[in-house]
A and B are shown apart, each in its own frame.
Chain A
Amino acid sequence: MTLLPIDIAGGVVVYWLVLGMFSLLLIGSPKHITQLIFPAGALGALVLAGTGLVALGQTPNVAVLPLGLPDLPFHLRLDALSAFFLMLLGAAGFAISLYSAGYFRHMEARALALLALQYHFFLASMALVLLANDAYLFMVAWESMALSSYFLVTTDHKVPEIRKAGYLYLLIAHVGAISILLAFGVMQGGHGIAAYTFDAMRTAHLTPFWASITFSLALFGFGAKAGLLPVHVWLPEAHPAAPSPVSAMMSGIMLKTAIYGLLRITFDFLGGEIWWWGVLALTLGLITALFGVMFAAVQTDMKRLLAYSSIENIGILLVGIGLAILFHANGKESLAALALTATLYHALNHAFFKSLLFLGTGSVLHATGERNLGRLGGLIRRMPWVAALVLVGTLAIAGLPPLNGFVSEWLLLQAFLLTPDLPQPYLNMLIPVATAAIALAAALAAYVMVKFYGIVFLGQPRDEKLNEAHDAGWWERLGLAWLALGCILLGLFPVQVILQLDHVTQALIGDTLGMSAAKTGWLFLTPIAPERASYSPLFFLLAILVVLLITFLAVRRFYHGRLRRGPAWDCGFPEQTPRMQDSAEGFGQPIRQIFEPFFLIEREVPSPFDREPRYHGRSEDKLWYGLYLPIAKAADKLSAWISILQHGRIHLYLMYSFVTLLLMLVLVRWS
């Protein structure tokens, strides 16, 4: 018997579960948990990443486990789509586990053992979500993923805000899960329990009406997990509450499982055949992207800033999915392949750079104990390793060539430029506006990232205690370096990456990009034709480096390299204090002013005569007050009405049961 990729992937899942439970045995020696369990988990992730990479090009593997319901045992399947996301999970999870080995070393023993248990359960359940081939296993894995991540978010459960954030997360996760369950229910269509397998759903042909219902339910359900507007509110609360490696895992990997689910249902089960689904996804994605980046620009907490940036990136992914559906529904398969490739590429990129940035904030948090941007600054001099590696992530997420963020944005913009071929009237008019919005979001992302990096790592320290900050340890550096290397390699070798992504687009859409992308050799990325568009990051980087070297040597050769250090000039103003630098609020002020209608701004400005002037400003989400609180109030009211039934007297309850029974009998009699 040969070992199939699915056996290895399943083996890794079991291995993680065992590791998690094993950490409970090591409760007495926290050092072993960090030094043994986490690196061992990282090894599993690496194996999984390799398995995913190998399985991308292979025919789908299936397996049926002797577990589960009597008539519905657990079905597993490893096809190209699962393989791609497993690779993403493994590659990012590897770095996060390595980082965790260093990060959690000062944690209290009991909490650490529990955390290690939840952490590995979380990893295993995410892998199982990607492997599941029936609705029951999928939901079981999905729920364990939600629960284990909930416990991880509330690691510091003694802080009331964190408990609140965790509750909100759990609530929205379950609203989403119900919606996903309903989507499966519609696809099953009352055809018995065997119809809950994904194989049956693939062959079930729904009418356009029911297919649209399924799509909408799936979009809402997976959107709630991904942070799509308007079910995004948990994201900026839960990410800062969680320990940084957990934030990295949730943002870098867990959000992608939602993208996986949406792709699975839309393309694999429903065939993605109705064009207005694309418009819906595109519009929602654009709104989400712009909203996310706008709010990221005004944040003062570095992890909240990154959380809003994740919302933006999810928006961009959804835009890509929307375009892919639009092209696919119109029979333009090669263009759909382009849009889908851009989406998958961006998902992979986001897993790398967002994990990198969240882990970077973890190191800053460890070194300074501070999450507030207003009390950071100047850390590039104290933490050169973290600063240099995070700089890579910053440039990548800002969408700058020659790093990876640029490649996926470039592909997406190319896809936009091809929309004039669409047959739907008026859609052509809508697309330029959408292109403009995506360009605006991308440009704003650069603003946000300059703010993030500039305020945390550059300038003068805004607090005395920052002068004692220390650089991250070797485990942490290793994890960060792996992710930074990923950002660079994914940026420099797009053709090779796309050739791997082709297996996924082939499976979902039946067309690929790689054949034309690689036509002019591996050096140049030409998605459609070389005279249409081409880009070569390697060439690009080499040219910059060569010119840089020539300039440097020429300046040294013809002039001199003399350098003196002196106090900062600042136009001759001698009294420089760190408080004169821009604060986080200050840097976000132009955005707040330009996009004022979108924020709920609360500001406290001191009068000119204040002895101790204090400025206080908050920019809040209008949706929270406009949508969530009314819903919460309505729910409260409804439960108050229902509590009329509740008296605490047993004979009344017996009567309720009796009346219900009677009604049932009448119903049965009539039907």
Chain B
Amino acid sequence: MSAQLSGILFQLFQSLLVVAIAPLLLGWVNQCRAWLQNRSGAGVLQPYRTLRKLFHKDAVIAHNASPLFRVTPYILFSCMWLAAGVVPVLATDLPFSPAADVIALVGIFALARVFIALAAMDIGTSFGTLGARREMLVAFLAEPALLMVFFTASLISHSTQLPTIVEALAHTQFTLYPSMAFAAIAFVMILLAENARIPVDNPTTHLELTMIHEAMILEYSARHLALIEWASSIKLLAYTTIGFALFVPYGIAEAGNWAALPLALIALGVKLVAAGAGLALLETISAKMRIFRAPEFLGTAFLLAVLGMLIHFLLGA
């Protein structure tokens, strides 16, 4: 019983931690970007200030907004929180992880995406539908690629449960998997596309015609916008930690093992700092591409992921 209670406490701790530090990761990426562009930057805490400002404002929504429009930010936030609760960020064997495996994880992201796309179409503005269409375009190419990455990992570990994958990859003898190298490249490309980063989308753009994600949320303001922004940062963190679980699964503790927690926290911190800096570097050295180059980019990711799977069959590794 105490082990169960401890597991639940661990789960709660992880979930709260993820939600709390998600804007920090975003702030860190933006700060690194500023440094790389020779700007001083707004500081890593800027996303928190933005959220606070947004929560304090009065919400303004269009006359014809339906209940779907108003409930979507909350659904989005819950989905992302749920996703972050399933990923073994700090520990494997969380009490919550049997609720969803990697396929269900892809399903959670899809659920959130469909809701935001529908909400974008709700008001009936030209930019809203444009954003929804583009988002779904990126998604239908990125989603199968993500599944293929997961499948490669699950063929190696004989499981679609992320904790089992982590244990198979981290806690057994160290082996290099060529298939996972392909999967890793594909995963980074998917991460960029799914989180609306350069080169597929630009999160800081003010040019409506090139927008994808931003075009969908143009009609949102105040607390609704704050929740969406927060959910996006949780999504970025969730994707990053999924990447850690698949490709650098070291330092992740077992649930209930409180002694390993400090080490897990330090490992997570180091990995996040490095990943954030890497993401900023990637975004700085690449340029945003035209929307119709995005299918090529994602098609490459898809092919790389399928290649990874084929290599697994060919080499058995």
Contacts and interface: CB of A to CB of B under 8 A. Distances in A.
Question: Is B a genuine binding partner of A?
Answer: yes
Interface of A: 377-378, 380-381, 391, 395, 398-401, 406, 410, 413-414, 417, 420, 428-429, 432-433, 435-436, 439-440, 442-444, 446-447, 449-451, 453-455, 458-460, 520, 524, 526, 530-536, 539-540, 543-545, 547-548, 551-552, 555, 558-560, 562-571, 573, 576, 578, 580-582, 586-587, 589-590, 593-594
A543 B101 contact: no
B121 A428 contact: no
A443 B143 contact: yes
Given A443-B140, A535-B101, A570-B126, 10 more contacts: A435-B147, A446-B143, A450-B118, A458-B124, A531-B164, A532-B159, A563-B61, A564-B60, A564-B61, A586-B133
Contacts of A429: 310, 313-314
B124 A378 contact: yes
Contacts of B158: 532
B122 A414 contact: no
B20 interface: no
Contacts of B66: 380-381, 458
Given A399-B107, A535-B99, A536-B99, A582 B114 contact: no
A539 B99 contact: yes
A360 B87 CA distance: 38
Contact of B124 (A460, A524, A532, A536): A460
Contact of B98 (A414, A428, A524, A547): A524
B224 to A, nearest CB: 9
Interface stretch (B71-79, B264-272, B282-290): B71-79
A581 B137 contact: no
B227 interface: yes
Contact of A450 (B126, B136, B309): B136
Contact of A447 (B111, B124, B125, B139): B139
B118 A458 contact: yes
A275 to B, nearest CB: 18
A587 B104 CA distance: 27
A270 B125 CA distance: 57
Given A453-B118, A568-B219, A443 B74 contact: no
B247 interface: no
A38 to B, nearest CB: 32
A562 B55 CA distance: 11
A460 B64 contact: yes
B56 interface: yes
Given A398-B114, A531-B159, A539-B99, A555 B223 contact: yes
A587 B132 CA distance: 9
A179 B159 CA distance: 43
A395 B223 contact: no
A159 to B, nearest CB: 32
Contact of B64 (A540, A568, A582): A568
B210 interface: no
A569 B134 CA distance: 20
Contacts of A564: 58-61
A543 B161 contact: no
B126 A401 contact: no
30 contacts: A378-B124, A395-B114, A398-B114, A400-B114, A406-B107, A410-B104, A429-B310, A432-B151, A435-B148, A436-B144, A436-B148, A436-B305, A436-B306, A440-B140, A443-B139, A443-B143, A458-B122, A531-B164, A533-B161, A535-B101, A535-B104, A544-B78, A559-B55, A564-B61, A565-B62, A565-B63, A568-B62, A570-B123, A570-B219, A590-B137
Contacts of A547: 77-78, 81-82
Contacts of B155: 417, 420
Contacts of B64: 378, 381, 460, 568
B174 interface: no
Top-7 shortest CB links A-B? A459-B124, A460-B124, A439-B144, A454-B121, A582-B129, A568-B62, A570-B125
B142 to A, nearest CB: 8
B228 interface: no
Contacts of A581: 121, 124-126, 129
B218 interface: yes
Contacts, number: 255
B68 interface: yes
Contacts of A533: 101, 103, 159-161
A520 B121 CA distance: 42
B144 A593 contact: no
Given A417-B154, A444-B140, A566-B60, A536 B98 contact: yes
A573 B60 CA distance: 16
B56 A559 contact: yes
Contacts of B227: 551, 555
Contacts of A520: 98
Contacts of B25: none
Kindly name the residue among A398, A534, A562 whose own CB sees the greatest number of chain B CB atoms within 10 A: A534
Kindly name the residue among A432, A539, A564, A570 whose own CB sees the greatest number of chain B CB atoms within 10 A: A432
Nearest to A582: B129
Given A381-B64, A590-B137, A544 B161 contact: no
Contacts of A552: 74
Interface in B78-93: 78-79, 81-82, 85
B144 A582 contact: no
B244 interface: no
B120 to A, nearest CB: 8
B258 to A, nearest CB: 23
A135 to B, nearest CB: 42
Contact of B137 (A377, A400, A447): A447
B130 interface: yes
Contacts of A420: 155, 313
B117 interface: yes
Given A417-B154, A443-B139, A567-B62, A580 B126 contact: yes
B192 interface: no
Nearest to A401: B107
Nearest to B108: A401
B151 A417 contact: yes
Kindly name the residue among B96, B132, B133, B160 whose own CB sees the greatest number of chain A CB atoms within 10 A: B133
